[in-house]
């Protein structure tokens, strides 16, 4: 496949390096120090104690790359609107865009079940003014959920942590129980690259399930500076997180994303992963903008429109947003 990765951070760099090693024609849109580093030394990946280098065509000019079969948007939420405009030359008649991002995507309510009592299916918290939706229409999108950890300690260098699971699926799901041809093609390419990849018939539920854990652990880690094991080991913090998760579970039940697992079971899974720095904590420590909106603001927006009480989600959003604004990591 002809694949362009937009955003060579930790996740984007990992996907680009592994897809290139599998023989796909991989290019990337990058800028600044990352672009300079990849051009000079290639895209370096440390995994399993070994380092490899992928030679990919990195540029800051999408027009130089032309239309692609697949465009992987591996960005933080705040960067997507600008990137959606800059990536337009990558999009031909049949190009597919696959965001590999955390949280609630802009299209999430557009394909919610007909019975969901929301007259307005837009999400202003993640796509104010429908800028992204206009540039990346739903027909182009394949959803993706990333279950792995990695970091980029310096431009052009990716360090894999643990996990290799990806889930891909059509935004609207499938009532037939069968996945689409383009989802199957993408899943095969990702498997060939060494990812444990599932083709899902209900990607919205997969997205909400990951969010259910991420929307608490990420902001709490950024607020406290604590790694995951210290967060879970504090009984008062854990109780707050479980209350927040229960509110999110109630929201999910009303938008076609029911969760049957308990919060305690989900936190037990997180505990088994050992100590790690969440992506939001890494961004906070590095002074990068925090993706609060896709992880918390969108959930709060949906819950508010459904009139679901959310004292914990509201507190988490307010505290995290205020901390980030005071540090210049979230717009006023």
- Active-site residues: which are they? 210
Would strands 2-6 and 165-169 be described as parallel, antiparallel, or unpaired?
Answer: unpaired
> How far, in Å, CA of 53 to CA of 206, rounded?
32
Within 10 angstroms of residue 176's Cβ, the number of other Cβ atoms is 7
> How far, in Å, CA of 293 to CA of 133, rounded?
16
| Closest by Cα among 251, 232, 228 to 242 | 232
Within 10 angstroms of residue 285's Cβ, the number of other Cβ atoms is 12
β-partners of residue 59 are 29
Give, in order, the Cα–Cα distances in Å from 325 to each of 197, 207, 289, 295, 308. Answer: 37, 27, 10, 16, 27
């Amino acid at each position: 496949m002809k694949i362009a990765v937009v955003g060579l951070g930790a996740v984007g760099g990992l996907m680009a390096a592994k897809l290139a090693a599998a023989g796909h024609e991989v290019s990337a849109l990058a800028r600044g120090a990352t672009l300079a580093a990849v051009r000079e030394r290639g895209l370096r990946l440390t995994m399993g104690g070994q380092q490899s280098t992928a030679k990919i065509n990195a540029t800051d000019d999408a027009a130089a790359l032309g239309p692609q079969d697949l465009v992987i948007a591996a960005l933080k939420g705040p960067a997507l609107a600008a990137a959606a405009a800059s990536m337009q030359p990558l999009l031909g008649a049949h190009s597919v865009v696959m965001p590999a991002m955390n949280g609630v995507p802009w299209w999430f309510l557009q394909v919610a079940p007909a019975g969901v009592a929301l007259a307005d299916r837009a999400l202003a918290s993640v796509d104010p003014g429908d800028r992204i939706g206009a540039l990346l229409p739903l027909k182009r999108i394949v959803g993706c959920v990333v279950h792995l950890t990695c970091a980029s300690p310096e431009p052009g260098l990716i360090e894999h942590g643990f996990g290799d699971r990806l889930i891909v699926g059509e935004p609207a799901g499938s009532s037939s129980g069968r996945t689409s041809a383009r989802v199957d093609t993408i899943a095969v390419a990702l498997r060939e690259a060494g990812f444990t990849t599932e083709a899902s018939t209900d990607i919205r539920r997969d997205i909400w399930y990951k969010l259910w854990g991420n929307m608490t652990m990420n902001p709490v880690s950024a607020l406290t500076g604590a790694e995951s094991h210290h967060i879970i080991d504090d009984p008062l913090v854990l109780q707050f997180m479980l209350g927040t998760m229960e509110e999110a579970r109630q929201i999910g039940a009303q938008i076609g994303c029911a969760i049957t697992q308990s919060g305690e079971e989900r936190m037990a899974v997180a505990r088994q992963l050992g100590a790690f720095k969440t992506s939001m904590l890494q961004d906070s420590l590095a002074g990068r903008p925090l993706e609060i909106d896709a992880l918390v603001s969108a959930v709060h927006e949906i819950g508010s429109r459904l009139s679901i009480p959310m004292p914990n989600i509201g507190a988490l959003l307010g505290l995290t947003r205020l901390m980030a604004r005071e540090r210049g990591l979230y717009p006023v």
